[in-house]
């Protein structure tokens, strides 16, 4: 494929995603704030640049996978941002988990410059990204989504279309991450209850995850929580807290009480306060064990 794709953000998820885009035959121009993280891609043929705007080809496609709303706004709207150079016909695919309100505003700003903002956040941990097995939720202008379909096909096993309003896919991602966090809290409480009453927690999750809770979240996260194994880090606790805050923020704006999200906020905030910000967010289960008087 002859088109050069710009890619910004080479963290735990961005690195394998960009690698798969490169493997699919696209030329790739990459930027990361910590420049050394681009080296593996450069060795595979990618071109590294020193500013976000330098990944852009006028009317081209840029993919971003950054940590939060402020990082996305910085690489998009800042002095060295991509929006001023993207131009008519260009497409910005945002794979970050951001507030729906931010997605709506960025969509409007892109439209003013006659380019498209397509939100395409993903579900899946780094190992799923490396295998090209991500689940993708996507929303934005229809023509732009059709144009970027080969890119999304290169990194995921299926893309779910949520219409033309960019904020719709962002909302789906926020709700999905809330449900994952809620499932982890529920598993941690149930398995701690089993452990404290003399039942092997690994046996409990093995049975439940093969029967009434036979799903990847209970099978994969549940296994780690049961074994109290929170490495390698696929998704940091501080990012999980950020995503639960996005759910609460959106809920407040739309008058939706979310008492469980408030509990998750406190659980994750406590973990961060105890120095666990860079641990995997599954380590919220440590707080459950501590509350029960277990080591």
Name the residues annotated as catalytic. Answer: 173
What is the spatial distance between Cα 158 and Cα 109, in angstroms, rounded to a whole number?
28
Both tokens of 160, joined, read 């779910």
Question: What sign has the CA pseudo-torsion 175, 178, 180, 183?
Answer: negative
In whole angstroms, give the CA distance from residue 52 to residue 174. Answer: 26
What is d(CA 12, CA 157) in angstroms, rounded to the nearest whole number?
19
Helix (DSSP H) and strand (DSSP E) numbers for the chain:
14, 9
Q: How far apart are CA 37 and CA 15, in angstroms?
A: 8
Angle at the Cα of 138 from the Cα atoms of 71 and 52, rounded to 5 degrees: 30
């Amino acid at each position: 494929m002859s088109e050069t794709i710009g890619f910004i953000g080479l963290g735990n998820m961005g690195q394998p995603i960009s690698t798969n885009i490169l493997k699919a035959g696209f030329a790739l121009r990459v930027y990361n704030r910590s420049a050394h993280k681009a080296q593996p891609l450069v060795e595979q043929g990618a071109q590294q640049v020193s500013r976000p705007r330098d990944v852009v080809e006028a009317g081209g496609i840029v993919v971003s996978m950054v940590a939060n709303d402020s990082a996305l706004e910085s690489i998009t709207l800042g002095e060295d941002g991509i929006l001023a150079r993207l131009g008519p016909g260009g497409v910005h695919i945002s794979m970050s988990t951001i507030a729906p309100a931010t997605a709506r505003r960025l969509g409007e700003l892109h439209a003013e410059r006659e380019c498209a903002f397509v939100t395409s956040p993903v579900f899946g941990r780094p190992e799923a990204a490396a295998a090209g097995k991500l689940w993708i939720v996507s929303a934005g202008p229809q023509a732009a989504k059709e144009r970027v379909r080969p890119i999304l096909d290169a990194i995921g096993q299926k893309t779910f279309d949520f219409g033309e309003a960019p904020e719709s896919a962002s909302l789906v991602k926020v709700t999905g991450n809330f449900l994952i966090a809620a499932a982890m809290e529920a598993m941690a409480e149930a398995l701690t209850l089993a452990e404290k009453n003399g039942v092997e927690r690994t046996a409990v999750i093995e049975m439940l995850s093969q029967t009434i809770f036979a799903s990847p979240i209970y099978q994969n996260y549940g296994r780690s929580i049961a074994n109290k194994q929170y490495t390698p880090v696929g998704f940091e606790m501080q990012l999980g807290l950020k995503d639960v805050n996005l759910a609460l923020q959106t809920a407040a704006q739309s008058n939706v009480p979310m008492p469980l999200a408030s509990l998750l906020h406190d659980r994750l905030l406590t973990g961060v306060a105890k120095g666990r910000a860079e641990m995997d967010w599954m380590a919220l289960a440590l707080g459950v064990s501590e509350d029960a008087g277990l080591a």
